[in-house]
Amino acid sequence: MKYQSIFAPGLFAGQVVVVTGGGSGIGRCTAHELAALGATVALVGRKADKLAAVCEEIAAAGGRASSHACDIREEERVAESIATIIAAHGRIDGLVNNAGGQYPAPLRDIKAKGWDAVIRTNLTGGFLMARECYTQWMEAHGGAIVNIIADIWMGMPGMAHSGAARAGMLNFTETAACEWAPVRLNAVAPGWIASSGMDHYPPEMGPLIRKMAAMVPARRLGTESEVAAAIVFLLSPAAAFISGACLRVDGAAPNARRVWPVVGTGTSPKPFDGFHLAATPKVLQGA
């Protein structure tokens, strides 16, 4: 089986796209779709074994991918990795700044070390990746960057460190869209997505995760493929006049208000799931 993309075959033929956090979740799904559309995908992440596994999956589906183990928080390693990708593939046409991570904690209990770790991963690392792609290639040749943030509207209670970092990444996107034009920068803000990342939270969050669908006006969680489709669109020629924007993929969850007691009625819109290797997160199995 291959990825069932809604986009035209060969859309990214001859192009090279870097995907951070490409070893799992949304990054893995996006890498598969880009490769299915003809791109050579350079996967970046901290765990070489996970990247290698995704490269094997993409190769088995007829695509092309390379893996580059790198901690995006380390400035010199990021610069070296981008230089290596250019040396290996000759160009960088797109960057999907997807790598990130956080942990649940009330704001009063977050220590400086934990705060700094999340900020460095979700904001500083994304900036370093974008800067190196820009200075080493895109400034002279053009390109497009998509920064993955999160549903930050009305705050992120329980994950304030991540919310602050993601909000910073949105402002960085808007700023760089001006400073680095005509290179295009946009953001994608996933809401509650049924992704493998849900299984990394502590077990006590399980009941809350399983209740999330009822709080979304669309009456369901999103799929990895629906986020990947938004990313692919923003990288594509169809988005040539879109820069500095943020595309929410959240089923209108931030629009639900407590003063409006009914959050969605009737049948949920049919999900799009073109990823042939998609799996239901364990926390949602049987929900």
Summarize pLDDT for 115-173 with one digit per residue, the tens: 999 999 999 999 999 999 999 999 999 999 999 999 999 889 989 999 999 999 999 99
Domain ranges of the chain: 16-253+279-284
End-to-end CA distance of the chain: 27
Tokens matching residue 142: 């053009």
Provide the phi-psi class of 264: left if phi over 0, else alpha when psi is between -120 and 50, else beta. Answer: left
- Residue 180 confidence (pLDDT) above 60: yes
Q: Is residue 220 pLDDT above 60, yes or no?
A: yes
What confidence tier does 39 reach under pLDDT thresholds 50, 70, 90? very high
> What is the fold, at CATH topology level, of the domain defined by 16-253+279-284?
Rossmann fold (3.40.50)
Cis, peptide link before residue 203, omega less than 30° from 0: no
CA dihedral 158, 124, 166, 23 (to 10 degrees): -90
pLDDT of res. 53: 97
Alpha helices in 37-74 (DSSP H): 48-60
Which tokens is 29 given? 């799904």
Which tens digits make up the pLDDT trace of 54-90? 999 999 999 999 999 999 999 999 999 999 999 999 9
- Judged against a pLDDT cut of 80, whether residue 192 lies above it is answered with yes
Amino acid occupying residue 145: I
Q: Using an 8 Å Cβ cutoff, are 278 and 29 in contact? A: yes
**Which pair of structure tokens corresponds to residue 62?**
């007829």
Q: What is the pLDDT of the chain when averaged over all its residues?
A: 93
CA atoms within 13 A on the CB side of 262: 3
CA gap 169, 21 in Å, rounded: 16
Between 24-38, 191-205, 214-228, the lowest mean confidence (pLDDT) is in 191-205
